[in-house]
C-alpha cells in the first residue's frame, strides 16, 4: 500500500535534486573548510554558494546569513544571544503564547536567569493584536519575537506591521519563519526584521541544518563558542553537505514558490471543503484566509485526536495531532488552548499538512475515509454526545 504523507509541517522528504548536490561533499570534497588546500577551498566555496542561495530566497545580504544546526538553534541563539548581550539596557522580552517550543522553552530558561517575559495572547483565529503589543512595550524591553506562521494552525501574523511598531521604539525584532520559508514570500528587507530563523528540513532539505538571519549591526552574543567559523559568531566545523543541501532546497523553494503555493492552496481548500461539508460537528482551527497554503487543522467533537491518527495510519495516512513535539503527551496543545478552545475540544484535533508531492486523488481518498473513521469513532466514544462540552468560543 502506498503511503499518503500529510505531515509536511513536521518534516519533508529530501528532494532528489537536493540529495544530488549534497553527495560529493561526503566522500570526495570532504575537506575542512577552514584549511588551506584544494579540498578545503572546494568546501569553503560550496558553503558560500549556499549562503548566496539562502540569502537570495529571503532577499538578504549574504553576509547576514549564518548557518546553524536547525530552527531550534536559530531560535535559541536569537533569544539568548540578544538577551545576554543587551542585559545592561533592560531585561524585558515580549513573545506570544503560540510560539514553537524552541522559543517558549528558551523563554522559560531566560525567566530562570532573571529576564521578564510577556506572552502576548492571540484571538480565536490565532492573530496577535498590535494594540496589545504596543501596550506591552516598556522602557526596558530589549527584544520582541513573534513567529511568522504558526506550525499547528497555520495562522500568518502581520510581521511587517509588527516589525514597524517594534523598530519605531528602537527594539530588536526577531521572527521564527521556519514554517513560512518555501510556503509564502519572504523579504527580510521589506519585512523590516532584525533576525529571522529558518530550517532546512521543512523545505525538502536535510535535517540538522538551518540559518539565522542577523541584520548587520544587531548586538548579539554567540551561542556556540570555539573556532572562528561563521564570521566568528558560530563555532564548529561546518556541516558542509547539509549546508549545500539547504542552499539547493532554498533555491528550489524560491524558484517554485508561486507554483507550489497554488498547488498547496488548491489541495488545502479541497480538503477543508470536504471535511467541513461531509462531517458534522467539526471546526477549522486557525485563520480562514491568513493561513499557510498547505495547512488544515480541525477539531472533531467527542473524539481524541490520537485515535483519529491511529485509524488514519491503518489506512496508510500520516497526519498529526498538534505538533510533533506534543504528540505522545496527553497535554492539549498550547496553541489550541491559546485560541480559546476548551481542553476537551482541543484533544480532538487533527493537523493535516500538504506538501509538494501530495495529489488531489490523495486528498479525496483521505476525505472519504475520514468521514467513515469519524463516524465509527463517535459510535464507540466514551464521551457522551449528549453531555455538553460546549463553550461560548466553540459554538460561535
Ligand atoms: C520545526 C520548527 C522549528 C524547529 O526546527 P528544527 O530544525 O527542527 O530545530 C522551530 N520553529 C518552528 C515554527 C518549526 O515549525
In the chain, the domains with their CATH numbers are: 4-11+257-380 (3.90.1150.10), 16-255 (3.40.640.10)
Is 325 considered catalytic here?
yes
- Other C-beta atoms closer than 10 Å to the C-beta of 97 total 16
- In this model, does residue 128 exceed pLDDT 70? yes
If you measure from the C-alpha of residue 252 to the centroid of ligand 1, how many angstroms do you get, rounded to a whole number? 20
Catalytic residue among 27, 107, 299, 325: 325
Query: From the alpha carbon of 73, which atom of ligand 1 is closest?
Result: 9
Pocket of ligand 1 (CB under 6 A): 70-72, 75, 100, 102, 147, 151, 176, 178-179, 199, 201-202, 210
Query: From the alpha carbon of 74, which atom of ligand 1 is closest?
Result: 9
- In this model, does residue 217 exceed pLDDT 70? yes
Task: Strand 172-176: give its sheet, edge to edge.
Answer: 65-68, 210-214, 195-199, 172-176, 141-145, 92-96, 116-120
- pLDDT confidence bin for 388, thresholds 50/70/90: very low
- pLDDT confidence bin for 324, thresholds 50/70/90: very low
The helix/strand/coil state of 113 is coil
CA-to-CA distance for 81 and 79, rounded, in angstroms?
6
Annotate 3-71 with DSSP letters as a single string: -EE-BTTT--PPPHHHHHHHTHHHHTS---TTSSSHHHHHHHHHHHHHHHHHHHHHT--GGGEEEESSH
**In the 8-state DSSP scheme, what is residue 157?**
P
Radius of gyration of the chain (CA): 22
pTM: 0.95
Mean pLDDT of 283-296: 98
More confident residue, 267 or 332: 267
Residue 381 confidence (pLDDT): 76
If you measure from the C-alpha of residue 213 to the centroid of ligand 1, how many angstroms do you get, rounded to a whole number? 15
- pLDDT confidence bin for 392, thresholds 50/70/90: very low
What distances in angstroms separate CA 374 from CA 275, 336, 371, 383, one per listed residue? 10, 20, 6, 14
Q: Which three cell numbers stand for residue 177?
A: 519563519
Query: The dihedral of CA 287, 291, 293, 294: what is its sign?
Result: negative
CA-to-CA distance for 33 and 236, rounded, in angstroms?
11
Q: What is the rounded average pLDDT for all residues in the chain?
A: 94
- In this model, does residue 328 exceed pLDDT 70? no
| Cα 127 from chain centroid (whole Å) | 15
In terms of Cα–Cα distance, which of 351, 325, 336 is closest to 102?
325
Residue 265 confidence (pLDDT): 98
CA-to-CA distance for 264 and 44, rounded, in angstroms?
36
Annotate 319-352 with DSSP letters as a single string: -BSS-TTTTTS-SPPHHHHHTT--HHHHTTEEEE
Mean pLDDT of 35-44: 92
If you measure from the C-alpha of residue 292 to the centroid of ligand 1, how many angstroms do you get, rounded to a whole number? 15
- The two beta strands, 282-284 and 295-300, are antiparallel
- In this model, does residue 62 exceed pLDDT 50? yes
Residue 332 confidence (pLDDT): 86
Pocket mutation for ligand 1, best pick of 8, 199, 210, 320 (most atoms within 8 Å of C-beta): 199
Amino acid at each position: 500500500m502506498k503511503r499518503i504523507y500529510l505531515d509536511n509541517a513536521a518534516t519533508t522528504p529530501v528532494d532528489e535534486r537536493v540529495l544530488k548536490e549534497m553527495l560529493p561533499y561526503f566522500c570526495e570534497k570532504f575537506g575542512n573548510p577552514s584549511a588551506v588546500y584544494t579540498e578545503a577551498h572546494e568546501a569553503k566555496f560550496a558553503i558560500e554558494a549556499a549562503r548566496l542561495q539562502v540569502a537570495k530566497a529571503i532577499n538578504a545580504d549574504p553576509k547576514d546569513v549564518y548557518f546553524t544546526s536547525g530552527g531550534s538553534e536559530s531560535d535559541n541563539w536569537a533569544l539568548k544571544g540578544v538577551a545576554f548581550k543587551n542585559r545592561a539596557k533592560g531585561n524585558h522580552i515580549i513573545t506570544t503564547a503560540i510560539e514553537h517550543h524552541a522559543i517558549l522553552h528558551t523563554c522559560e530558561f531566560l525567566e530562570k536567569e532573571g529576564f521578564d517575559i510577556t506572552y502576548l495572547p492571540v484571538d480565536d483565529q490565532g492573530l496577535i493584536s498590535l494594540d496589545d503589543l504596543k501596550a506591552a512595550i516598556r522602557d526596558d524591553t530589549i527584544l520582541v519575537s513573534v513567529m511568522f506562521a504558526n506550525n499547528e494552525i497555520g495562522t500568518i501574523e502581520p510581521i511587517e506591521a509588527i516589525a514597524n511598531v517594534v523598530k519605531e521604539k528602537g527594539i530588536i525584532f526577531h521572527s521564527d519563519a521556519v514554517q513560512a520559508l518555501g510556503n509564502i514570500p519572504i523579504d527580510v528587507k521589506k519585512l523590516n526584521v532584525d533576525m529571522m530563523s529558518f530550517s532546512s528540513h521543512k523545505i525538502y532539505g536535510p535535517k540538522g541544518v538551518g540559518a539565522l538571519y542577523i541584520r548587520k549591526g544587531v548586538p548579539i552574543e554567540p551561542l556556540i563558542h570555539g573556532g572562528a567559523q561563521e564570521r566568528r559568531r558560530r563555532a564548529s566545523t561546518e556541516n558542509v553537505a547539509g549546508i549545500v543541501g539547504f542552499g539547493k532546497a532554498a533555491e528550489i523553494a524560491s524558484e517554485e514558490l508561486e507554483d507550489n503555493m497554488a498547488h498547496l492552496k488548491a489541495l488545502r481548500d479541497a480538503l477543508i471543503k470536504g471535511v467541513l461539508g461531509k462531517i458534522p460537528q467539526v471546526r477549522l482551527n486557525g485563520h480562514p484566509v491568513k493561513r499557510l497554503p498547505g495547512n488544515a487543522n480541525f477539531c472533531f467533537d467527542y473524539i481524541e485526536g490520537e485515535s483519529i491518527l491511529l485509524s488514519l495510519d491503518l489506512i496508510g495516512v500520516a497526519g498529526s495531532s498538534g505538533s510533533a513535539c506534543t504528540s505522545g503527551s496527553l497535554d492539549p496543545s498550547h496553541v489550541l488552548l491559546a485560541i480559546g478552545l476548551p481542553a476537551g475540544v482541543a484533544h480532538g484535533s487533527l493537523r493535516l499538512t500538504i506538501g509538494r508531492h501530495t495529489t488531489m486523488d490523495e486528498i479525496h481518498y483521505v476525505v472519504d475515509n475520514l468521514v467513515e473513521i469519524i463516524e465509527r469513532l463517535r459510535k464507540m466514544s466514551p464521551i457522551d454526545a449528549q453531555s455538553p462540552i460546549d463553550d461560548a468560543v466553540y459554538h460561535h
